Chains A and B, each alone.
Chain A
Amino acid sequence: MQVDGAESLKLSKMSTIQTSGTEEVHPDVLLVERARAGDVQAFEKLVRQYDRQVFRIANHITQNREDAEDVVQDAFLKAYEKLNQFQGNSKFYTWLVRIAVNESLMRLRKRRTGKMVSIDEDVETEDGSVPRDLADWSPDPEALYGQSEMAEILKKTIQGLPPGFRVVFVLRDVDGLSTEETADALGLSIPAVKSRLLRARLQLRERLAKYFRKDGKKNGGGK
């Protein structure tokens, strides 16, 4: 069963509660208020709403399933402990992602025995551009592969990108966050998010082309 983060966020936006005048209160804010007052069940709703997305982001950064499970626990626990610091000027989910990204980087650092890991690293190709595979794709590339084979291709392909590109792509294109929300969650500038998103999209397209191009047999070589 696939989870569409963008869809769940859209639904969440649609169910935004209208209060007096034009002011709107996101339903998450009400849950946060109840949780702050000691209602653990309200916090449970927030956990259930966002645990899959946090797990996905943690996996994309750590590339380790056990670490990602630990990040889910630690990020929600930290969020609970810091609920009083949530200002409500950003969405709860954006705030939670910021915690989850930091927890993921800490895990990664531990595995790399203290080596500094940052989401802020910048990676340029030699001339700052991305090469272009100009062959068209099969009209239905997903029909070329079985579901698990496709998942492996997509995983292997995105893992080849620098972490800072992967996370921007996932937040913007899979989770459906805006450029501003992505910048806020990652502590990046808006131009940095835009530049990474363009390069992430083009690099993923380029890497997927060898599996999906019309004129080639599926090669699955992944070289």
Chain B
Amino acid sequence: MTCTEFLAQLDELIDNEVTVSLRADLEQHLRECEHCEITLNTTRKTIEIYRSHEIYELPEEVRVRLEKAILAKCRKC
């Protein structure tokens, strides 16, 4: 397996959507290719970091104001 072929399957590997035999091939490539191993691990880390940090926080006071405005308009519908 080449690095290009590995990268084409990267998402499926991360999302656990590979067959047993494909997984074995991908893991074999990882044992032989440090670059792809780093790419896999750091891509996983990228997802994990974005998932665990809220970069657009909705403050509670804004949330309450928006909810009140939405529901007041809904009641008029």
**Interface residues in chain A, defined as those with a beta carbon under 8 Å from any beta carbon in chain B:** 1-4, 6, 40, 43-44, 47-48, 51-52, 55-56, 59-60, 68-69, 72-73, 76-77, 80-81, 132, 134-137, 141-142, 147, 150-151, 154-155, 158, 169, 173-174, 194, 197-198, 201-202, 204-205, 208-209, 212
Contacts and interface: CB of A to CB of B under 8 A. Distances in A.
Nearest to B8: A198
Contact of A154 (B35, B42, B53, B67): B53
B71 interface: yes
A205 B75 contact: no
10 A-B pairs closest in CB distance: A59-B56, A2-B54, A205-B46, A55-B58, A76-B70, A155-B55, A205-B43, A80-B74, A173-B47, A56-B56
B46 A60 contact: no
B62 to A, nearest CB: 7
B71 A40 contact: yes
A209 B46 CA distance: 9
Nearest to A202: B43
B49 interface: yes
B11 interface: yes
Given A137-B38, A173-B51, 7 more contacts: A1-B54, A4-B52, A72-B70, A198-B11, A201-B10, A204-B50, A205-B43
A174 B42 contact: no
B1 interface: no
Given A69-B62, A77-B70, A205 B51 contact: no
A60 B56 CA distance: 8
B45 A141 contact: yes
Interface string B55-67: 1101000110011
Nearest to B52: A2
B31 interface: no
A132 B49 contact: no
Contacts of B67: 44, 47-48, 51
A60 B49 CA distance: 16
Contacts of B41: 136-137
Nearest to B10: A198
Contacts of A204: 46, 50
B56 A55 contact: yes
B20 interface: no
Contacts of B43: 201-202, 205
B51 A4 contact: yes
B38 A134 contact: yes
Contacts of B14: 201
Given A134-B35, A201-B46, A205-B43, A151 B53 contact: yes
